[in-house]
Structure 1
Amino acid sequence: MSFNPENIAILGASGAIGSAFTKRLSEKYPNASLFAFSRNSQHSIDYSCEDSLAEAAELAAKDRPLDLVIVANGILHDEGLMPEKSLRDLSVEKFHRVFEANTITPALIAKYFLPKLNREEASIFAALSARVGSISDNQLGGWYAYRASKAALNMIIKNAAIEVGRRNKQAIIVGLHPGTVDSDLSKPFQGNVAGGKLFTPEYSAEKLLEVLENLSSEQTGKCFAWDGKEVLP
């Protein structure tokens, strides 16, 4: 696929991968319009407010349809919230917080941004997922809320790809697994990462862009890792 986006939106642009995407895309496509949304930026957004999401989509597509949308939102842990090791660690609060960030927010972003995709040329909507969201690949267990939230996100992506594909044959909607990235999200777990498998945000973003630029419309609805390999459901 020949892909040369002229209008780009990045959601979650202040995070490690989101900011790396923003920087690399601005370098690679200097003539493109680029809207980088985050809670604390020039293009501020409130992810908990649908009106804010709708306004962001209208702003980004005001002058022309969107060619590329990247959703880089997500949470694995924060103060008082860590991945569960067993059933006894589950709580309603953990599930609510993790699903809101990893599943509900990307789904609502899709609600407002997918209708703004270019219909005349190839366009891409990509959301950061994770290999641990693969049910068939799960050999270790644990991380209940995070795994479930990413598996649910992958289903949202599949559903959206089917629906949007009925009226926009050139749209590609995918999930992306960035690998283990050296960021605040992964810091407590980096000791278990194999040598050479802890990526800088810049490296991960560059590899994921290579994946996006080589997608075809037949691959919509799937999830792909940083190395281009499909992450199985």
Structure 2
Amino acid sequence: MTQSVCIIGGGSGIGLALAQHYAETHTVVVISRQPSLQLPGIRWIQDPLTSETTSAERVATALAQQPDIIFICNGVLHDNQAMPEKTIRQLDINQLAVRFASNVQVPALYLKLLFGYLYKRPAVKLLVLSAKVGSIGDNMLGGWYSYRISKAALNMLIKNVSIEVGRLNKTAVIVSIHPGTTDTQLSAPFQHNLPAGQLQSPLATAKRLAAVAAGLTAGQSGALLNWDGTALPW
């Protein structure tokens, strides 16, 4: 029986690569703010994120496909308005709020809308793209305030949801995962000093994440994982 996969935030980068990778073997549904790219094997649902009611309708449509694996890929490191801060003296509170909206509030909304499905679906797997820099225990460099803070908050969100879902569905697994440095717009300004072999193509990252998803067990629920499936410190 063909499994179904839902990619939320699948309009570009890693999310799009995941959709294209899974479309070769799975039924795939994408939820994205972007208009449909009309890709073979992928059902596209545009969610403009204008209201919770609208998003709930879009999620309900996607869940009709009964996905066994769900990815949430929303997140922003930088944009035309601001780059990551090197010092707290560069911190702009308004920009911090913008990062929280993208990196915490949007995933939180989708997790709320997915909750009723997550606690009922046997052996469902949910992976939320986070970042190693959101690990408090791994932080030895400082800087990147807005991104680090918001990703740390995202990791706590995932931990919380995993506990609540786990009380109702012992077979569910919900994790946050660092995808590794990938050749996307997110990492583009920071690629010049990377060690050889560290930068991965979106498709290579998608394959690695799919391999981790395939091997997940309920005992890992709530963990922050590295791209290879090993646990990272909180």
TM-score normalised over the length of structure 1: 0.92
Tell me the number of residue pairs that the alignment of Structure 1 and Structure 2 aligns. 226
Where does 1:1-233 land on structure 2 (aligned, <5 Å)?
A: 6-29=3-26, 32=27, 34-39=28-33, 40-41=35-36, 42-62=44-64, 65-117=66-118, 119=120, 121-233=122-234
Structure 2 counterpart SS, 1:156:
helix
Q: 1:120 to 1:16 in 2, by over 3 A?
A: closer
Instruction: Please tell me whether the aligned partners of residues 6 and 62 of structure 2 are also in contact (alpha carbons under 8 angstroms).
Output: yes
Instruction: Please tell me whether the aligned partners of residues 32 and 46 of structure 2 are also in contact (alpha carbons under 8 angstroms).
Output: yes
Instruction: Please tell me whether the aligned partners of residues 119 and 165 of structure 2 are also in contact (alpha carbons under 8 angstroms).
Output: no
Shift of 1:52: 2.3
Question: RMSD of aligned C-alpha atoms?
Answer: 1.5
1:33-72, Cα deviation, whole Å (9 max, x unpaired): x21111122410023521122112210123x533111111
Instruction: Please tell me whether the aligned partners of residues 66 and 118 of structure 1 are also in contact (alpha carbons under 8 angstroms).
Output: no
Q: 1:198 to 1:82 in 2, by over 3 A?
A: same
Structure 1 counterpart SS, 2:185:
coil
User: Kindly, what percent of the aligned residue pairs are identical?
Assistant: 41
Q: 1:14 to 1:168 in 2, by over 3 A?
A: same
Distance 2:71 2:24 in 1: 16
Q: Structure 1: any 5+ residue segments left out of the alignment?
A: none
Shift of 1:15: 1.6
Instruction: Please tell me whether the aligned partners of residues 85 and 143 of structure 2 are also in contact (alpha carbons under 8 angstroms).
Output: yes
Shift of 1:193: 1.4
Shift of 1:224: 1.1
Letter matched to residue 75 of structure 1? V
Structure 2 counterpart SS, 1:127:
strand
Shift of 1:209: 0.8
Structure 1 counterpart SS, 2:168:
coil
Instruction: Please tell me whether the aligned partners of residues 119 and 168 of structure 2 are also in contact (alpha carbons under 8 angstroms).
Output: no
Structure 2 counterpart SS, 1:10:
strand
Distance 1:160 1:173 in 2: 8
Shift of 1:174: 0.5
Shift of 1:182: 0.4
